[in-house]
């Protein structure tokens, strides 16, 4: 595949309602989309960085910087025999996994289209209908949260994840568990606690949670191993795990019993495939995390979720939970039994609504080779 051009766009999209986590609240998303033209086809990727460096170190703007000043100029004009060779091409750039993932995943989409196969097949996926859960933001009070849970269960979702933080944890989980004694329920703290909170976190053991996601520091696998030894609930790591080495370290230290894989956090499909394979070998279930993606990131998440290691429902849910209008068609839909049927058409399986993307675009950079010279066209 020859990388003929790379187009970066920043789009603005407003979530239907604000989403609150332990690190802050977001409603207005600033999303970077990457379009790679390779051998005549357009592949699309989404950068899943947040607006602020609160979940991890990357932001919309750091990704824009790294893509504009380093990744895109070094890649345009290059040829690559397989998408899985992409990480080697960018290995000189440390970190910035979400920025890299935007380009890598676009190449996977392009490659699948060139081969005429759906992306999930091209990745080696085997699951044709993926199980879906939802992630519910922090609410004002337990009653409001119970109401939300009820709605999501009515839509068919197979697992409910509650965001928690100190002061908005025990009572909220207790209220939901009391109302719904049988459901698959988990919590996600996004690093809001520390080891001194171990006995408090232990109190959540009584709710028979499927898992407790990333209770401690975003970069501390070791501390999680100390906590896992003190609680019955399975810890699931999210923020801590950026690559397969991290996953293997966490497994060896018994820092978690489940791992959440997010494409952006692990730098793209190549590393995600390796990680789920390594976890499967060690008997550690994985599931697909979400980053409030537009339809493009969502389509990539769906394709990844078909790999055999993904044995738990992911945070991959319907477009309409987030957006009044998504940028892909058809929009991502969830069946009454809480599943998404994986599309069978070549590439992502969802068409990008170009006109709508143009309307939402607030800045753009186009990198293309012209007579052997790299040109960058910037607008707005
Ligand atoms: O920790 O999984 C997380 C959203 C933004 C940042 C971090 C997380 C989340 C979610 C939302 O939980 C999942 C989604 O619905 O996309
Ligand atoms: Mg999480």
Instruction: Kindly give the number of the ligand 1 atom that is closest to the alpha carbon of 213.
Output: 1
Nearest to 58 by CA among 46, 68, 50: 50
Q: Which ranges of the chain have pLDDT less than 50? A: 380
Residue 72, Cβ density class (10 Å: 0-12 exposed, 13-18 middle, ≥19 buried): buried
Active site residue 121: no
Cβ of 237 less than 6 Å from ligand 1: no
User: How many whole angstroms from its chain centre is CA 273?
Assistant: 14
Beta strands in the chain, from DSSP E residues, in sequence order: 3-21, 24-38, 41-47, 129-131, 133-136, 159-163, 185-188, 211-213, 235-237, 258-261, 286-288, 328-329, 339-341, 351-352, 361-370, 373-379
Alpha-carbon distance of 132 to 318, in angstroms, equals 9
Q: What are the b/e assignments for 362-377, b being 16+ CB within 10 Å?
A: eebbbbbeeeeeeeee
Peptide bond into 8 cis (omega under 30): no
Nearest to 152 by CA among 128, 189, 180: 180
**301 SS3 class:** helix
Strand partners, 8: 34, 365
Q: Which residue has the tokens 């009391």?
A: 178
Pocket test for ligand 1, best of 20, 132, 135 (most atoms within 8 A of CB): 135
Q: What is the pTM of this model?
A: 0.97
Angle at 265 between CA 152 and CA 379, to 5 degrees: 95
> Residue of the nearest CA to atom 13 in ligand 1?
290
Helix pair angle (97-115, 295-304), 10° resolution: 70
Cβ of 55 less than 6 Å from ligand 1: yes
pLDDT value, residue 371: 54
Alpha-carbon distance of 106 to 333, in angstroms, equals 22
Distances (CA, A) of 135 to 35, 62, 254, 258, 263: 28, 26, 25, 17, 17
pLDDT tens-place string over residues 144-203:
999 999 999 999 999 999 999 999 999 999 999 999 999 999 999 999 999 999 999 999
Nearest to 131 by CA among 312, 292, 258, 322: 312
Catalytic, out of 163, 165, 226, 353: 163
pLDDT value, residue 372: 52
pLDDT value, residue 380: 44
Q: What share of the chain is helix, strand, coil (3-state, %, to 5)?
A: 35, 30, 35
Helix pair angle (244-252, 221-228), 10° resolution: 30
Strand 258-261 with 235-237, pairing: parallel
């Amino acid at each position: 595949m020859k990388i003929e051009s790379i187009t970066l766009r920043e789009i603005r999209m407003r979530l239907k309602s604000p989403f609150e986590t332990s690190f802050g609240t977001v409603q207005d998303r600033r999303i970077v989309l990457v379009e790679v033209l390779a051998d005549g086809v357009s592949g699309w990727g989404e950068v899943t960085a947040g607006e602020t460096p609160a979940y991890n170190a990357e932001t919309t703007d750091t990704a824009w910087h790294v893509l504009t000043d380093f990744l895109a100029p070094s890649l345009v004009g290059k040829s690559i025999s397989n998408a899985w060779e992409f990480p080697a091409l960018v290995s000189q750039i440390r970190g910035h996994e979400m920025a890299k993932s935007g380009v890598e995943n676009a190449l996977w989409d392009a490659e699948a289209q060139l081969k005429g196969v759906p992306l999930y097949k091209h990745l080696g996926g085997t699951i044709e209908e993926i199980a879906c859960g939802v992630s519910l933001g922090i609410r004002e009070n337990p009653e409001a949260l119970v109401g939300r849970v009820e709605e999501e269960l009515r839509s068919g979702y197979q697992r409910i994840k509650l965001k928690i933080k100190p002061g908005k944890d025990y009572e909220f989980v207790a209220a939901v568990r009391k109302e719904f004694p049988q459901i698959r329920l988990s919590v996600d703290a996004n690093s809001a606690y520390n080891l001194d909170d171990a006995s408090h976190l232990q109190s959540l053991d009584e709710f028979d949670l499927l898992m407790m996601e990333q209770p401690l520091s975003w970069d501390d696998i070791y501390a999680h191993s100390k906590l896992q030894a003190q609680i019955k609930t399975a810890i699931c790591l999210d923020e801590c795990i950026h690559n397969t080495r991290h996953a293997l370290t966490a497994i060896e230290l018994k820092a978690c019993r489940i791992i959440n894989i997010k494409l952006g956090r692990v730098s793209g499909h190549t590393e995600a495939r390796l990680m789920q394979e390594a976890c499967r070998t060690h008997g550690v279930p994985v599931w697909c995390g979400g980053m409030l993606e537009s339809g493009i990131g969502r389509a990539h998440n769906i394709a990844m979720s078909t790999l055999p290691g993904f044995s738990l429902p992911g945070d991959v849910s319907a477009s309409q939970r987030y957006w009044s209008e998504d940028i892909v068609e058809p929009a991502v839909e969830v069946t009454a039994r809480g599943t998404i049927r994986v599309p069978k058409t070549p590439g992502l399986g969802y068409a990008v609504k170009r006109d709508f993307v143009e309307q939402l675009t607030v800045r753009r950079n186009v990198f293309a080779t012209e007579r052997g010279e790299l040109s960058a066209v910037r607008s707005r």
